[in-house]
């Protein structure tokens, strides 16, 4: 089997200039957003976003939507891929499910997490959840010396707008984001 290298360039790009893929199907709940902010605060960027260059020179995200959304004013690492629209949609569809197919070695995970410390409550909650909370030490202490705590998940109010075509969808998206609303594009 011949494997092609589809990475054509590496750039640092202001995250707010990256265009979200109109078919991005992933949503990001508050706990994930908080955990990402915690990781970015404690470690920073340690991986590149994936994008493809459109004919007008703009960059369309394939992977890294939440990171770009979280740090819109930051110059972020981006791998520019040599993909056409069809290939970009395929990669967008398979990246996360492919990673989710990996299985866990619970013993190795517990050993790794025994050495991980964090100051972020959201990251601590994520790490505790990875072990199903059943491996937390006696006395209520979670990983990295934390304590059990309730996590408040705020209510989310959403509106779904059906559009007649992609042009109208983009216009509604741009208008609402311009008014300060947090929006995602979905195509069903």
Pair (38, 64) in one structural domain = yes
**Residue 152 within a domain:** no
**Residue 184 within a domain:** no
Pair (74, 45) in one structural domain = yes
Residue 62 sits in a domain of what CATH number? 3.90.1530.10
List the domain range (segments joined by +) for residue 115.
106-145
pLDDT in tens, the chain (188 residues): 999 999 999 999 999 999 999 999 999 999 999 999 999 999 999 999 999 999 999 999 999 999 999 999 999 999 999 999 999 999 999 999 999 999 989 899 989 998 999 999 999 999 988 877 434 433 333 333 344 445 455 666 778 888 898 888 888 888 888 888 888 777 76
Chain position carrying tokens 């011949």? 2
**Residue 127 within a domain:** yes
52 forms bridges with which residues in the sheet?
Answer: 60, 81
- Is the Cβ–Cβ distance between 74 and 1 less than 8 Å? no
Pair (110, 72) in one structural domain = no
Pair (72, 138) in one structural domain = no
Domain count across the chain: 2
- Would you state the pLDDT for residue 149? 44
- Is the Cβ–Cβ distance between 143 and 116 less than 8 Å? yes
- Would you state the pLDDT for residue 156? 66
What's the CA gap between 75 and 15, in Å, rounded? 6
Pair (13, 50) in one structural domain = yes
**Residue 157 within a domain:** no
């Amino acid at each position: 089997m011949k494997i092609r290298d589809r990475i054509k360039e590496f750039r640092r790009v202001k995250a707010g200039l990256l265009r979200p893929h109109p078919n991005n199907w992933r949503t990001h709940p508050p706990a994930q957003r908080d955990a990402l902010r915690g990781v970015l605060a404690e470690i920073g960027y340690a991986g590149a976003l994936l994008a493809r260059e459109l004919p007008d020179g703009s960059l369309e995200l394939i992977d890294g939507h939440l990171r770009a959304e979280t740090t819109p004013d930051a110059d972020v690492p981006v791998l520019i891929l040599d993909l056409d629209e069809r290939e970009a949609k395929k990669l967008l569809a398979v990246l996360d499910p492919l990673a989710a197919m990996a299985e866990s070695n619970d013993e190795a995970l517990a050993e790794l997490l025994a050495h991980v410390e964090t100051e972020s409550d959201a990251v601590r909650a994520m790490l505790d959840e990875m072990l199903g909370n059943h491996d937390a030490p006696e006395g209520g202490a979670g990983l990295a010396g934390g304590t059990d705590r309730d996590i408040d998940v705020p209510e989310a109010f959403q509106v779904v707008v059906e559009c007649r075509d992609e042009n109208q969808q983009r216009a509604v998206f741009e208008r609402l984001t311009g008014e300060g609303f947090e929006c995602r594009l979905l195509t069903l």
